[in-house]
């Protein structure tokens, strides 16, 4: 057993041998590069947490339960041993209480001290609705603005029925209450809108393109969207209905014009149009083409 006085002498000897290295080791070490890159917690602001945010959860005296987690799109977090917990819509303080209560019940722990801090500010989100591949909410990135063209790409692009000539932005809290309309039907027009920055709460609406109805003796009867920038000639419309059946009367196609009071039908001889003997009618939204059946 080492007595008090020899222990003092032993420490003094170690200090003398190491040249003061022991004293230097007691000073705090400079932060490493990795530590400098760790996001600093943000001050409490009482604002509800949102999907897409990242939070740091620390549990006093239980470092194995402390970690950084991201709030998923459904508003929950995946926490060890507890499974999924609702996070979006709660404040950081409310999430602390929920985690503390769940840990106390799961492990019978007393006086569980949980701290939750945001590590990145909420950047907000925008919504894209209508005729895109993936409609729904999209979070705004934290490092750069999100433009209209980029959002359409994130949503998987337009569907075949989209009205690309009339894309609307309903302004949110930052963008104002106005409604803006953009024509994205061509590359040049799309480029002009590439710098249109979106703001938190913006709602982007892509409506269905205007349509015509093609009925009767065609291979795919039904409605045909009139895409922006595309020819509206009767031949293309019939081609998109996959052409005539073998029973079709090609010189007896009835064209019912929209907007005419009596809705009178005009007879179109498609073979004459193909031969250049008659002008090609231009179809308008709401028109109806009815291909009659040949009489034998």
Three-state secondary-structure class, residue 15: helix
Indicate whether 23 pLDDT > 60: no
Three-state secondary-structure class, residue 271: helix
For the stretch 34-69, pLDDT in tens is 333 344 455 555 778 887 788 899 888 888 888 888
pLDDT mean over 267-281: 92
pLDDT at 52: 74
Indicate whether 210 pLDDT > 50: yes
60 Cα distance to chain centroid: 37
Query: Measuring CA to CA, how many Å separate 52 from each of 28, 89, 99, 121, 259?
Result: 35, 12, 19, 10, 48
Q: Which helix (H) or strand (E) holds 134?
A: none
Overall pTM > 0.75 = no
- Arithmetic mean of pLDDT over the chain: 78
The greatest distance separating any two alpha carbons of the chain, rounded to the nearest whole angstrom, comes to: 125
Question: What whole-number distance in Å separates Cα of residue 206 and Cα of residue 159?
Answer: 9
Long-range contacts of 221-225 (CB under 8 A, 24+ apart): 225/160, 225/161
pLDDT at 245: 94
Tell me which DSSP letter residue 38 carries.
S
Query: Measuring CA to CA, how many Å separate 70 from each of 64, 82, 203?
Result: 18, 15, 24
> Domains (ranges, CATH) in the chain?
40-118 (3.30.1950.10), 125-208 (3.10.560.10), 211-293 (3.10.560.10)
**Which range, 122-126, 182-186, 205-209, has the best average confidence (pLDDT)?**
205-209
For the stretch 101-124, pLDDT in tens is 888 888 777 778 899 988 766 577
- Are 238 and 214 in contact, with CB atoms under 8 Å apart? yes
pLDDT at 72: 83
Question: What whole-number distance in Å separates Cα of residue 36 and Cα of residue 265?
Answer: 76
């Amino acid at each position: 057993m080492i007595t008090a006085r020899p222990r003092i002498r032993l420490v003094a000897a170690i200090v003398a041998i190491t040249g003061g290295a022991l004293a230097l080791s007691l000073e705090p070490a400079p932060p490493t590069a990795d530590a400098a890159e760790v996001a600093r917690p943000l001050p409490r602001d009482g604002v509800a947490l949102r999907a897409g945010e990242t939070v740091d959860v620390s549990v006093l005296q239980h470092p194995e339960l402390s970690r950084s987690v991201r709030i998923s799109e459904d508003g929950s977090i995946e926490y060890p041993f507890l499974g999924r917990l609702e996070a979006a819509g709660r404040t950081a303080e409310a999430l602390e209480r929920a985690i503390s209560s769940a840990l106390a019940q799961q492990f019978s722990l007393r006086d569980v001290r949980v701290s939750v801090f945001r590590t990145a500010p909420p950047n907000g989100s925008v919504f894209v609705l209508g005729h895109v591949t993936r409609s729904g909410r999209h979070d705004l990135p934290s490092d750069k603005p999100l433009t209209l063209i980029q959002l359409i790409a994130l949503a998987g692009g337009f569907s075949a029925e989209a009205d690309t000539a009339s894309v609307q932005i309903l302004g949110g809290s930052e963008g104002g209450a106005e409604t803006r309309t953009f024509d994205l039907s061509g590359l040049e027009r799309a480029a002009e809108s590439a710098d249109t920055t979106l703001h938190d709460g913006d709602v982007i609406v892509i409506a269905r393109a205007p349509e015509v109805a093609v009925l009767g003796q065609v291979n795919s009867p039904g409605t045909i969207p009139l895409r922006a920038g595309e020819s509206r000639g009767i031949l293309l419309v019939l081609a998109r209905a996959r052409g005539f059946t073998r029973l079709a009367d090609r010189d007896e196609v009835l064209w019912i014009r929209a907007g005419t009071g009596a809705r009178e039908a005009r007879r179109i001889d498609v073979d004459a149009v193909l031969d250049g003997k008659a002008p090609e009618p231009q179809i308008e939204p709401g028109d109806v083409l009815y291909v009659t059946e040949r009489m034998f």
